[in-house]
Amino acid sequence: MLQLSNGQWSSLFNIFSFGLISMLACTVFTLVGQSRVLPKYRNALVMSSMVTFIAGYHYFRIFNSFNEASKGNAVTIGTQQGAFNEAYRYVDWILTVPLLLVEVVAVLALAQAASKSMMSRLVPASAAMIILGYPGEISSNNGTKILWGILSTIPFLYILYVLFVELGKSLDRQPEGVAATVGRLRLLLIATWGVYPISYLIPILVKNPSESQMASLFTDRQIGYTVADVLAKCVFGLTIYKIARMKSAAEGMADSH
């Protein structure tokens, strides 16, 4: 059981609430926005809505788990019944991370063979990245954390190769401005995904932490994960919407307000 300060407990309460409402708001926005893009790009927005809806559900569960694990400012962590359940994040990620990558391919409307080839590699690689990270997340042994962290990095590097090398070859055939936006989208993906390993490694950075340090590490990790989730899902989804609008306009769809 971690004894949090008043500020740490309220910060986590507020950041989980912020994560929940951000996901729900983006779900509504991308659902409503489908009428403003051509039909062939709507699947990408549907997947974006699915990502934020799934994440919103899991933030609802995380929010409840945090409240149920709290007695005053003390929070029970671990795998026992009644403890704060970190597994909700990994269940969310194993569903949403593959969908995020599929969104990118879907909104570009590549040739069917190219789309199928990329999805058949990106989806298993993203699932492997999440699955390999979980044993290290729940372990209290630093060596175990480092081992599984390295293993989960291997599929992550492969995903970057597909996105930057193979996907990059198709961008020359995209309408003006789309290639630059996709380039920023890929950088956003790296920047936000980069927060996850940093948050993952936070407990390793301090040897033999005191109780107050453990409380700070726990708080910082949860805030890091949540901010990264909002950027990687909401901002990512809004960028997908922007690309769909740009491509629809380039193909003759009139702008309507």
pLDDT score recorded for residue 14:
96
For 149-174, what is each residue's pLDDT tens digit?
899 989 989 988 888 887 777 777 77
Domain span at 23: 2-250
pLDDT score recorded for residue 167:
75
Give the separation between CA 201 and CA 195, rounded to whole angstroms: 10
How many C-beta atoms surround the C-beta of residue 121 within 10 A?
17
**Domain annotation covers residue 50:** yes
**Domain annotation covers residue 257:** no
Tally of residues, the chain: 257
**Domain annotation covers residue 255:** no
pTM: 0.86
Mean pLDDT of 84-110: 86
**Domain annotation covers residue 245:** yes
The alpha carbons of the chain give a radius of gyration, in whole angstroms, of 20
Domain count, the chain: 1
**Domain annotation covers residue 139:** yes
More confident residue, 37 or 207: 37
**Domain annotation covers residue 75:** yes
pLDDT-above-70 percentage for the chain: 96
**Domain annotation covers residue 123:** yes
CATH of the domain at 127: 1.20.1070.10
Give the separation between CA 233 and CA 59, rounded to whole angstroms: 13
Structure token digits, residue 202: 């936070």
More confident residue, 13 or 138: 13
pLDDT score recorded for residue 180:
81
Cβ proximity of 30 and 234 under 8 Å: no
Amino acid, single-letter form, for residue 69: A
**Domain annotation covers residue 256:** no
- DSSP bridge pairs for 77: 84
Q: How far is CA 148 from CA 6, 121, 152, in A?
A: 34, 21, 6
Cβ proximity of 66 and 10 under 8 Å: no
HSE (side-chain half, CA atoms, 13 Å) at 77: 19
Residue 110 pLDDT > 70:
no
Confidence of residue 80 (pLDDT cuts 50, 70, 90): confident
For 194-253, what is each residue's pLDDT tens digit?
777 877 777 777 777 788 888 998 898 899 889 989 998 999 899 889 888 988 888 876
